[in-house]
Structure formats: structure tokens, C-alpha cells
Amino acid sequence: MRYSYGLTSALLVGGAAISLITGNPAGAQVAQNDDSQMARVVPRAGAPESFADLTAQLQPAVVNISTRQRIQVPTQQNPFAGTPFEGLFGNRGGNQAQPTTREAQSLGSGFIISADGYVVTNNHVIAPQGKGEVEEITVTTTDGTEYPAKLIGNDSSSDLAVLKISGPKAFPFVHFGDSSQARVGDWVIAIGNPFALGGTVTSGIVSAVYRSTGTGSAYDRYIQTDASINRGNSGGPLFDMQGNVIGINNAIFSPSGGSVGIGFAIPAEIAAPIVEKLRTGQEIQRGYLGVQIQPVAGDLADSLNLPQNRGEFVQSVEPGQAADKAGIKPGDVVTKVNGQDVTNDQTLSFLVANIAPGTRIPIELYREGERRTVTLTVGKRPTDEELAQSQLFNGDNQPDEDSSGGAQSGAMTQDLGLQLSPMTPRYAQQLGVSADAGGLVILDVDANSDAGQKGIQPGDIVVTANYKTVDTPAALESIVAAAKAAGRETVLLRIQRRGRPLTYVPIRLR
């Protein structure tokens, strides 16, 4: 379960509510939450006397999900490297510490959506931790039977994943309901495995629908509930009193790591279309404008003489993207997208992300106090990795946080402990260098490497290595290989950093 001292980041995506239609094996039973089954177990109207019958009917379709992972852990470097005492540390090779691995586990919940064994959970339940690799996924049903699971598809943006298990007979399953019908105050129950306590049931009410947690994500919309949700509940279902899965438990607000009565679930109407695409191997496409925005609130709203929390302010426009082509400019305030108001709960990013790329839509905006309408063709949203690269550096040359948790792409030079990418026009603009600048942009630095110890930072540019120009990671690797072949333990890099003169830095190889 993801949690923090603030609201946990959520990466969600929208879509029309659908019920998953799955091919059931011959002779398979109906869904555990089929109307014919639910008629005899749902609580009476008003405050229920008991959730026991409802729980007994639904619980067989809820599963425990565990993973076994291999995590890369850097070993401790020789603190005496480069001194006469380096041999005392037991590392005769000097500062050549190599990373080791350790085994790790994760635990979460999920639910079966078809009799032939498709299982839905959160992506972060089965995603590797840091620089790791998932070696095994196991699904455990309520009767204690363990099944090896195959990852069918996952989507980090919406934090959803689909697994597949196989067994000798049909599995009990449930299907999605229509979360758009949920109202504040409706009773709900959550079933999952908090703290590895399998089959735990908690109850509460819907506290808010379509709650934005303020992360700025394009898919930041949740059902908020006070049904107790804790670590291990991630990926488990949130049921209404008719037995419909109206949400997938995903995140909590917590100052301590435990439930304080504020939990968040991905609405079924958002999750179900993505799950179906993952299950059938379809590409997930989302709309994109190519703008940097912020809410119209506080002093910004006052300075524009506009109502608070209505519309979003365009800070910058990405050249060549949909907004730029339509003539949207920095300083504009977008108030409507395709006839829908832009608000705190329906952000510009959320509305656009749920429009198919290639669709022509009207955009209403204010420009210097005048109302205008432009028509644009929605672009295709880049991958999380591409977005992480495009937003990599802030004004201090430090990498911006990647709320999706996705790794930044780029070649990793293990001998130097540097993750590198060739210079691009976008990087050049962000780093304040000329558009035709060369060199390699440093995306990440292993803190345990000599480069990390000597202050090399993300955003620095490697201009030369051993006095030779480098414009590709392969070119740098070649120079490193030649140095090692010659018996040299260091490579001399020339580093450019914004606001400072070019500097030569000798980096010891690992």
C-alpha cells in the first residue's frame, strides 16, 4: 500500500464504465456478484444488520498476491581507496566495489475477474523495487491454494496490472460495477490482506467521489472511503452493497503508515477499460496537449481577476505539440475542454488524457481578459519514460521527481556509475546550452561510485573523456574499455555545469 505524510501520488486514467466480458470455460459458474446470486445476500436498505452474507459470497474471488524479487544493492566502497591503507579494507582492487543483490518480497491483494483465472491488482504490487527484477509472482486463494501467476499486462500510469493463473477447475470471480452511481454516504466494504492478514474485511462509507489528491497527475481521481485500508490492501476490491466492484484500493493518507480513515480507490469506470485492454493486449493511448499548467488559485486567480479554482493557467507550451499547433500560448487560462469545465476535480490533464488521440475538440480559454475558443487535434501522450526525460531538469539542474515511479531511460555506464543520454534539443533548452551542443547528459549518478563521491550530479554534461569528444554512451564505453585494457584505473572527464566553467574530473573505474 502506498502511503506518505501527504497524499500519495496516483496515476490514473479515465474511460467509460464497462463490464468486463470474459470467455468462461464450459460449465463455469456465474460471477460471485451476479444479480441472481446477490439477491439473497445483500443487506436490507439503510444501515445493514450484518455484512456476513455479503462477505461470504464475495470473499472467494479475492486473492493474496506476493512476489519474490532480486534487488541490486551497491556494496560499501573502500574508504581508504587511493591511500597507502586501501589494502587494509580487504579490497585489493582499490575502489572497485561491485553491486550485490538481495532477495526482497512484496505483498498485496487482488481479485479474480473471470472463471479462467484473470486477476486484477495494482501495478505497484508486482513492480520491482528500485533497481530490481521480479523473479516470481504467486497468487493465493482463500482456501490457501497457491498458483504461479503470469503477468499479462501492466500500466504504470494508471497503476493497474493483470495477471493470469491456471487451475484444474473454474475460479470464483467478480465483475466490475458502475462507480459513477456511487454517492457520498453509500456503504462499502473492502476485502484484502493488510499486513499479510489474509481475508480481512473492513466496512465504511464513500467519503467523496472523484477526489483529486493534488499530485498533478493526469489520472488523479479517486473514490475516497473511510473503510480501513492499510499496507497489503493495495489491489483489493472495494464493493458496494450490491456486490459490485466499484473501486480498486490503491492509496492512503497517513502520517504514521497506518489507516486514519482516509483511503483511496481507483474508480471502476476508470479501471475497467484499462483492465480490458491489458487483458487483450491492446495498446493504451491517451490524449496530450503539450503544456505545463498550474491551477488558477490564490494570488494567481486574484492577479487575473478570475474565480478561484476554475480553469488552469498555461505556464509553457511544448513546441510542435497539439497546443502549440492550435495557437495556445503561455499566459492563457484554459476553462473548458470539449464542453467540460476545468476544475479541481476535472483537471485539464485528466480531461485531455481521456480523449482519444486524433480527436478534434474545442478549447475555451481566457487570453489577456478576453474569452476565446480554439479548435485543436489531440496529440498522443508520450510514455512515462519519455515524459520523465522531457521534464528531467529544474532550474537547479537537479532531476525533477518522477511521480510515476518509472525509471529514467538512458544507458548506464557501470564502470563509471553514470546513467547517460546523448544531448537533445530539449535537454539543451533545459540545461541552458546552445541547440547544437554536444556531449552526454548525466541522468543519474550512483552515490556509491567515485563520480558520486566527487560531486558529479544529474544535469552535468560530459564533454570529453581522456581528451576525446563523446556524443554517445557507446563512444564513452569505448574510451573506458581502452583505458582498462591499458591497465589504467581512472578516466579523465571534462564536465560542463550551468553557471560554472568547464572542469576536468578524474573518475576512478569500478
Distance CA(75)–CA(119), nearest Å, equals 37
Q: Which of the following is catalytic: 228, 234, 254, 404?
A: 234
The grid coordinates listed for 246 are 466499484
Q: Which long-range contacts (CB under 8 A, 24 or more apart) does 277-283 make?
A: 277/153, 278/152, 278/153, 278/154, 278/155, 278/160, 278/161, 278/162, 279/20, 279/22, 279/118, 279/152, 279/153, 279/162, 281/152, 281/153
Distance CA(123)–CA(250), nearest Å, equals 10
Eight-state DSSP code of residue 342: P
List the one residue out of 108, 152, 384 whose CA is nearest residue 250: 108
Name residue, grid cell 474471488: 61
Is residue 73 within 8 Å of 101, Cβ to Cβ?
Answer: yes
- Asked if 234 is an active-site residue, the reply is yes
Distant-in-sequence, close-in-space partners of 13: CB < 8 Å, separation ≥ 6: 155, 157, 158, 218, 219, 270, 274, 284, 286, 353, 354
**β-strand pairing of 291-295 with 418-422:** unpaired
> CA angle at residue 418 from 417 to 423, to 5 degrees?
170
- Asked if 404 is an active-site residue, the reply is no
Q: Which of the following is catalytic: 9, 106, 114, 124?
A: 124
Q: Which of the following is catalytic: 155, 159, 415, 450?
A: 159
Distance CA(169)–CA(175), nearest Å, equals 19
- Asked if 341 is an active-site residue, the reply is no
Distance CA(272)–CA(268), nearest Å, equals 6
> CA angle at residue 281 from 401 to 117, to 5 degrees?
100
Cβ atoms within 10 Å, residue 218: 25
Cβ atoms within 10 Å, residue 368: 10
Q: Which residues are catalytic?
A: 124, 159, 234
